[in-house]
């Protein structure tokens, strides 16, 4: 028995993703300069708010996941949306840098813990069968992938019209509006929880009872290590790739354009995840993604002719898009449904830390060497480590 009209619910969860990622992850970058210019606060102090939100969201994801398994998505999303939005609105009234850092950091952490993929993928896994799940995850991540192209220009328009304080309030409203439909109509996971936590006809039902039992599994430990390595390298490239492209000799304008095209290519990468998974399985699809990311990154290291830069743009753009749905599918098979919210929250704690540290630590190599080659070599090597570190979910 299926848990209701999953297609509508997954679309609504995708809108949640656009709102949360759009404000907390992407639009923040558009606000940094206007906030600095208006207040005189340093880039470092403003960026500290983003770092706190990222790290705090990873820690709180474990708490959100536990409640997700007990009471379902609607209460968790309602609490995290309400509390997170209130604090983000408070940040728009800050008169001192520490007030902004505290309010945005706490608000972003709370909202992301209950509205990011660790929550929406857990709900999607619970309301779909194994056969339906690749398509459902593709829908979720393709819709979620619109967060950047929607939020960046929207935030830019608001900033031009009103300045950063009203614009920030408007973007909080944007997140609220996109989340409310899910609070009303996403209820299939609650029905599943009431039946014992699993879809009765799904062979991936059951799974680990708690975090402790999961961590006793070598397969889980290897997966956490592999996904952390992959994301550390991938996010480091994501943060620094515009500068790395420019360092090959192209203009900043062309580098930015190529980066935009790379971002758009993530959408067909997400869309292809279901097809590739159905043909070769999620494990082989993930391996193919890690190999593609490695080859694309190495192409930028070797870049002399512009063709090598385009190889980087195409290969890493597509593989960047496919990582989220494929890692989500693997995790769903590995953890089972019964405690998937808790276990995806646990995974977010680990991989969130790796994602934050990757660009920070590898960024030092740019200062130390005066170029991007070392960063790119290490990032490519991390993909290969991920490739050989994980095994088939048992």
CA atoms within 13 A on the CB side of 137: 36
Mean pLDDT of the chain: 87
C-beta of residue 350 within 8 angstroms of C-beta of residue 228: yes
**Dihedral of alpha carbons 173, 140, 327, 270, sign:** negative
d(CA 312, CA 138): 23
C-beta of residue 300 within 8 angstroms of C-beta of residue 248: yes
Would you state the structure tokens that stand for residue 69, as one six-digit string? 């398994």
Superfamily of domain 6-194: MFS general substrate transporter like domains (1.20.1250.20)
Residue 384 confidence (pLDDT) above 80: yes
Identify the helix (H) or strand (E) that includes residue 92. Answer: none
Query: Cα 277 to the chain's mean position, in Å?
Result: 20
Question: pLDDT higher for 201 or 56?
Answer: 56
304-312 average pLDDT score? 86
3-state SS class at 390: coil
Task: Provide the whole-model pTM.
Answer: 0.78
C-beta of residue 288 within 8 angstroms of C-beta of residue 330: no
Q: What is the pLDDT of residue 10?
A: 94
**Dihedral of alpha carbons 346, 177, 143, 296, sign:** negative
Q: How far apart are the first and last CA of the chain?
A: 24
pLDDT range class, residue 4, cuts 50, 70, 90: low
216-245 average pLDDT score? 89
Residues whose CB is less than 8 angstroms from the CB of residue 106 and which lie 6 or more positions away in sequence, other chains included: 52, 53, 56, 87
3-state SS class at 142: helix
Residue-level length of the chain: 394
Give pLDDT tens digits for 339-348: 888 888 889 8
Catalogue the E-assigned strands of the chain.
none
| Cα pseudo-dihedral 103, 109, 114, 116, rounded to 10 | 120
126-137 average pLDDT score? 86
Query: Exposure of 394 by Cβ count < 10 A (0-12 exposed, 13-18 middle, 19+ buried)?
Result: exposed
Q: Which residues of 352-382 are buried (b: 16+ CB within 10 A; e: fewer)?
A: bbbbbbbbeebeebbeeeeebbbbbebbbeb
Range(s) within the chain of domains with CATH label 1.20.1250.20: 6-194, 211-389
Backbone dihedral angles phi then psi of residue 253, each to the nearest 5 degrees: -65, -45
90-113 average pLDDT score? 96
Identify the helix (H) or strand (E) that includes residue 197. Answer: none
Q: What is the pLDDT of residue 261?
A: 84
Give pLDDT tens digits for 99-110: 999 999 999 999
Residue 206 confidence (pLDDT) above 60: no
Residue 244 confidence (pLDDT) above 90: no
What whole-number percentage of the chain has pLDDT above 90?
38
Query: Exposure of 234 by Cβ count < 10 A (0-12 exposed, 13-18 middle, 19+ buried)?
Result: buried
**Dihedral of alpha carbons 113, 114, 115, 116, sign:** positive
What is the dotted CATH code of the domain comprising 211-389? 1.20.1250.20
Residue 166 confidence (pLDDT) above 60: yes
Q: What is the pLDDT of residue 197?
A: 47
d(CA 133, CA 235): 26
3-state SS class at 280: helix
Question: pLDDT higher for 361 or 380?
Answer: 380
Question: pLDDT higher for 290 or 156?
Answer: 290
Question: pLDDT higher for 199 or 258?
Answer: 258
Would you state the structure tokens that stand for residue 50, as one six-digit string? 């983003």
């Amino acid at each position: 028995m299926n848990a209701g009209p999953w297609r509508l619910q997954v679309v609504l969860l995708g809108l949640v993703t656009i709102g949360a990622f759009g404000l907390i992850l992407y639009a923040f970058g558009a606000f940094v300069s206007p906030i600095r210019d208006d207040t005189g606060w340093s880039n470092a102090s403003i960026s500290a708010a983003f770092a706190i939100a990222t790290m705090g969201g990873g820690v709180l994801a474990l708490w959100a996941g536990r409640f997700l398994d007990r009471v379902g998505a609607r209460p968790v999303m309602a609490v995290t949306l309400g509390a997170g939005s209130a604090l983000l609105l408070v940040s728009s009234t800050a008169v001192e840098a520490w007030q902004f850092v505290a309010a945005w950091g706490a608000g972003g952490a709370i909202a992301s813990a209950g509205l990011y993929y660790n929550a929406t993928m857990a709900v999607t896994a619970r309301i779909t069968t194994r056969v339906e799940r690749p398509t459902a995850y593709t829908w979720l991540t393709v819709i979620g992938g619109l967060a950047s192209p929607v939020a960046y220009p929207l935030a830019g328009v608001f900033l031009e019209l009103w300045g950063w304080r009203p614009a920030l309030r408007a973007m909080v409203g944007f997140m609220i509006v996109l989340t409310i439909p899910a609070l009303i109509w996403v209820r299939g996971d609650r029905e599943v929880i009431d039946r014992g936590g699993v879809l009765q006809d799904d062979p991936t039902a059951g799974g680990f009872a708690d975090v402790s039992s999961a961590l006793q599994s070598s397969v889980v430990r290897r997966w956490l290590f592999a996904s952390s390595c992959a994301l550390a390298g991938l996010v480091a490239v994501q943060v620094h790739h515009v500068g790395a492209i420019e360092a090959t000799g192209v203009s900043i304008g062309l580098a930015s354009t190529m980066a935009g095209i790379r971002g758009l290519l993530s959408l067909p990468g997400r869309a292809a995840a279901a097809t590739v998974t159905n043909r070769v399985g999620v494990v082989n699809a993930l391996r193919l993604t890690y190999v593609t990311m490695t080859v694309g990154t190495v192409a930028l290291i070797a870049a002399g002719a512009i063709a090598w830069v385009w190889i980087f743009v195409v290969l890493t753009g597509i593989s960047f898009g496919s990582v989220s749905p494929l890692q989500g599918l693997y995790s769903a098979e590995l953890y089972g449904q019964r405690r998937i919210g808790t276990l995806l929250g646990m995974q977010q704690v680990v991989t969130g830390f790796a994602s934050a540290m990757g660009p920070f630590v590898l960024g030092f190599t740019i200062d130390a060497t005066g170029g991007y080659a070392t960063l790119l070599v290490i990032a490519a090597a991390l993909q290969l480590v991920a490739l050989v570190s994980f095994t088939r979910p048992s």
